[in-house]
Amino acid sequence: MTIGAITLLATFALTILIDIPIAFGLALSSIAYLLIFDAAPLMVSAQQFVAGMDSFTLLAIPLFVLAAQLMNSAGLTATIIRLCSAAVGDIKGGLAVVAVLASILFGALSGSGVADVVAIGSVLLPAMYRSGYGKGFSCALLGCAGSLGTVIPPSIVMIVYGTTTNTSVGKLFLGGVIPGILLGCALIAVVLWQSRKHGWAGGNPFDRRDFLVALKEALPALLVPVLIIGGIRMGVFTATEAAASAILYALAVGFLIYRELDWPIVWKCLRNTGETSASILLIIGAAGLFAWILVAEHVPQVLATLLSEWTSSRTAVLLVIMSALLVLGTFMETIAIIIIVAPVVMPAIHQYGIDPVHFGILLTVNLAIGANTPPLGVDLMAACRIGGISMVESFKPLLMMVGAMIVVLLLLTFAPEIVLFLPQRMK
């Protein structure tokens, strides 16, 4: 590795140590590299910053964020929780199971782990406390379950990865369906085990009439993933067009069916979307500049050469990359990891014949785990803030849940057919 690349990475590591926000750390270390080594005019930093965001597909990010804001404000979150509660009934740990199921369903609306945690946690965490669930357990569960929003399509993380690596976002969406369900099942298994151990009771007994009423109320929300995935699968629209369609659908449902929306609420959703999207795109632009320098320093080629000299096993390479990503996920933001790491490792991915869709889903699952591992752990942090506890209180139950998610990650690593089953059937 060249002295320039080492200097760039060391400068970025220093910005992390002194707690500079990721976006500014990426930009500062990149500009420092250009000034120290006089590798290119400083104007290049602005050009590459803008180029990192110059993609039609990335327009899907603010559109999906706005769609999720509108659906949450329209009352779709409450109908999803009622449906899950009616379906689960009075099994032990039923309320915790509801949290996982509701997170999966809302993840199919939001595409964001933090949005999932906030929407579901603000409703369910107080109820879980009242039912005797441990605060640390409840927050750890909501953080891990909420992170499924990055795996269940439509996923903002998948959009960024697809744009960065020129991989089909539609295939990534389809590839995330089965892994997202498997992760949910793993968390439910932990919930049932702990609930039996601690004697956490369920809710009301299952009632067929209540379930049908809840299903009818939640039907507009359940149609959203059908609209998005079905539309992409049938070739009706792209991911970006699907996001725009979701906004129109959310407005129609909010104004005409649930009648919870009004124009002041829509304006508030637009403002929140602007703030959220600006922070995401700022990271994307800065990370794009950083990744451009890494490519210019031939870091991807060096990494591919080192891996090929070390092993010829495709699985071994995946395990090494997944292990490195698990470490990076503990202290770096998800979007930044994708834009920095993906261009660096893609030459090795292609060299070993690894399907980019398979790798993209592994990366997404890995980052969902990283969103709950301290010291950063943005999803866990959001859950603990809503629950009013420190992150330390959630660490013990968190180990079981993160362990279950890592087991699923290993399963997907060794059995790519699970990920590729649906994308391979996409025309």
In this prediction the pTM is 0.87
- What's the pLDDT at 426? 67
Q: How far apart are CA 315 and CA 166, in angstroms?
A: 23
Q: Is residue 3 part of a domain?
A: no
Cα 116-122-126 angle, rounded to 5 deg: 135
pLDDT band at 1 (very low <50, low <70, confident <90, very high): low
For residue 62, give the 3-state DSSP assignment: helix
Give the pLDDT confidence score for residue 411 in this predicted structure: 96
pLDDT value of residue 200 = 79
Domain for residue 230, yes or no?
yes
**Predicted confidence (pLDDT) at residue 324 exceeds the cutoff of 60:** yes
pLDDT tens per residue, range 258-310: 888 899 999 999 998 888 888 888 888 888 888 888 888 888 778 777 877 88
* Helices then strands, each counted (H, E), the chain: 21, 0
What is the extent of the structural domain holding 212? 58-425
In a domain, 321, yes or no: yes
243 within a domain of the structure (yes/no): yes
Asked if residue 316 belongs to a domain, the reply is yes
How many other C-beta atoms are found inside a 10 Å radius of the C-beta of residue 310? 11
pLDDT at 427 over 60: no
Does a structural domain hold residue 416? yes
Average pLDDT over residues 84-96: 85
Average pLDDT of the segment spanning 125-135: 87
Q: What is the pLDDT of residue 264?
A: 93
Give the pLDDT mean for 13-39.
Answer: 86
Count how many domains the chain has: 1
pLDDT number for residue 326 = 87
- Angle (CA) 43-45-49 rounded to 5° is 125
Is 183 a member of any domain?
Answer: yes
pLDDT in tens, 214-273: 999 888 888 888 888 888 777 777 888 888 888 999 899 889 888 888 999 999 999 988
Q: How far is it, in rounded angstroms, from Cα 194 to Cα 98?
A: 15
Q: In which residue are the tokens 């590299």 written?
A: 33
- Residue 27 placed within a domain: no
